[in-house]
Amino acid sequence: VSIVVFVITMAAIITGKVNKAVATVFAAAILIDIGVVNVHTAFDAIDKEVLFLMVSMMLLVGILSKTGFFQWIALSLIKFSNGEPVRIMILIALGTAGLSAFLDNVTTVLLISPVVLLTCERLGVPAIPFLIVEVFAANVGGTATLIGDPPNMIIGSAAKLSFNDFIANTAPVVIIILLVGLVAIRFLFKRKFLVPREKRAAIKSIEPKSAIVAPLALEKSLIVFAIVIVGFLIHDKLHITPAIVALTGASLLIIICTNVKFEEVVNEIDWATIFFLVGLFMVVSGMEHAGVMHGAAKVLFRLSGGKPLGAMMSILWFSGAIVGVLTSASVAAMVPIVKELVAFVASHSGIPQALLWKPFFWSLSLGACLGGNSTIFGTTATIVMIGFIERTLNIKISFVKFMKYGVPTMLVSLAISSIYIILRYAIPLATYSPH
């Protein structure tokens, strides 16, 4: 029943017949009403940490946008690149990936998107390709660290993996994927954008500082923002979550920026995306309780053949495929499956579980984070980006249209990851000898 409800819900969203937030919340209500999942379990499945983080960052970005800060960055970017769109796209991709590794990718998308939009408006080029490249870069960059992507936070907590563990194991392949992506951008978009002659001529006279309209509010905003970013980096030592750091910063900024009205800032929150995620978390929970994920575990056991390479490839590609449909929220359900698979392969191959543990979870991390680029539902950052495009540009990106860019990106990323896993983990495990 849960699968039928999920398929109908996604079909309604894909065809555009029903608002995405209404569709997922209604589907969640149906699953609760028919007893697939009880109301307490459904509400517990809602990732409040992600939602509070998103709302808080939307408030922070909303206040910062009223100071002219994003316009200043956009104008500086145009002047530095001499108005060359492909160069700007590469800079956006690099900047987004770098930020996403040390902030989470949702926060990065919320920060960078206004800059991208304003830059494209000033150059007179379409913003959609730049925004899509941005979200792909955010998802790839976030894969490099423990705090960069929600799936990594879940995996790190469940598998007891540290920040340095991620840097040493996922960051190298992320750098390779980014380099391949930058070459692809140069090749695909080289002659794609034409900046009108009058706009190119006006670049020399651009004065980025003229965009700042509220210097005092900007000063306050940047100080608070710097404190928030430091808080993100040391939150574990403070024993508080990133959401609490962001919420504290947003509240403080609203209090000290007396010229900013709270009612105006609240309008910056993308409530449609928030409620869409609320419903989606509950629907995925319903599928877990209906045994869908347990059935998936049995499939993985058969695919692996009891061998480390088969298991790692199964985890990588299976998780990469399901997050495109079930979102990165499904990673929580994958963790116990991977733990079972570690025990299963250890018993069949004679390799100790301790040697299989980390490589199997790196496979899950790469699959879950990079596979999310395939569809508009794949990651929270992508969902936020689609909401941003709909709200600011009044353009709907269809499920199928996004997949034309997303699926090839996902396939290339997972193919590179497969080679990396084989060379770094599978070959050493294949030569393992207890003596």
Query: What pLDDT score was predicted for residue 278?
Result: 87
The arithmetic mean of pLDDT across residues 279-297, rounded, is: 77
Confidence tier at 164 by pLDDT (50, 70, 90):
confident
The verdict on pTM exceeding 0.85 is: no
More confident residue, 140 or 158: 140
Query: How far, in Å, CA of 413 to CA of 416, rounded?
Result: 5
What token pair was written down for 145?
């660290």
pLDDT at 70 over 80: no
- Write the burial class of residue 312 (CB in 10 Å: 0-12 exposed, 13-18 middle, 19+ buried): buried
Q: Who contacts 342 (Cβ-Cβ below 8 Å, separation ≥6)?
A: 353, 356, 357, 360
Query: What pLDDT score was predicted for residue 108?
Result: 83
Kindly report which listed range (97-106, 153-162, 218-227, 294-303) carries the lowest average pLDDT score: 294-303
At 364, the amino acid letter reads: L
The arithmetic mean of pLDDT across residues 141-165, rounded, is: 83
With contact defined as beta carbons under 8 Å apart, do 370 and 413 qualify? yes
Query: How far, in Å, CA of 113 to CA of 133, rounded?
Result: 11
3-state per-residue secondary structure call for 87-113? HHHHHHHHHHHHHHHHCCHHHHHHHHH
Query: What pLDDT score was predicted for residue 16?
Result: 67
The arithmetic mean of pLDDT across residues 311-335, rounded, is: 82
Counting DSSP H helices and E strands in the chain, the numbers are 23, 0
Listed ranges 149-158, 160-169, 322-331; the one with the highest mean pLDDT: 160-169
With contact defined as beta carbons under 8 Å apart, do 109 and 134 qualify? yes
Query: What pLDDT score was predicted for residue 418?
Result: 98
Q: Which tens digits make up the pLDDT trace of 31-56?
A: 898 888 889 988 988 878 778 887 88
- Enumerate long-range contacts of 95-100, CB under 8 Å, 24 or more apart: 96/134, 96/137, 96/138, 96/141, 97/137, 97/138, 97/140, 97/141, 97/174, 97/178, 98/141, 99/138, 99/141, 100/137, 100/138, 100/139, 100/140, 100/141, 100/142, 100/148, 100/149
Query: How far, in Å, CA of 377 to CA of 359, rounded?
Result: 27
Query: What pLDDT score was predicted for residue 264?
Result: 80
pLDDT at 179 over 80: yes
At 315, the amino acid letter reads: I
pLDDT at 107 over 80: no
pLDDT at 177 over 90: yes
End-to-end CA distance of the chain: 51
pLDDT at 287 over 90: no
Kindly report which listed range (7-16, 114-123, 309-318, 375-384) carries the lowest average pLDDT score: 7-16
Mean pLDDT, the chain, rounded, equals: 85
More confident residue, 362 or 378: 362
Query: How far, in Å, CA of 297 to CA of 311, rounded?
Result: 11
Q: Which tens digits make up the pLDDT trace of 228-259?
A: 888 877 877 888 888 888 899 999 998 998 77
With contact defined as beta carbons under 8 Å apart, do 140 and 182 qualify? no
CA angle 357, 360, 363 (to 5 degrees): 150
Query: What pLDDT score was predicted for residue 55?
Result: 85
pLDDT at 366 over 90: yes
pLDDT at 22 over 70: yes
What kind and span of H or E run contains 428? helix 427-430
- Write the burial class of residue 209 (CB in 10 Å: 0-12 exposed, 13-18 middle, 19+ buried): exposed
pLDDT at 313 over 90: yes
Query: How far, in Å, CA of 70 to CA of 83, rounded?
Result: 17
CA angle 46, 49, 50 (to 5 degrees): 80
Kindly report which listed range (39-48, 182-191, 196-205, 317-326) carries the lowest average pLDDT score: 196-205
Query: What pLDDT score was predicted for residue 294?
Result: 67
Query: What pLDDT score was predicted for residue 259?
Result: 76
Q: How many CB atoms lie within 10 A of CB 179?
A: 11
With contact defined as beta carbons under 8 Å apart, do 286 and 42 qualify? yes
Confidence tier at 298 by pLDDT (50, 70, 90):
confident
Query: What pLDDT score was predicted for residue 329?
Result: 63
Query: What pLDDT score was predicted for residue 73?
Result: 80
What token pair was written down for 64?
């910062």
Query: What pLDDT score was predicted for residue 187?
Result: 84
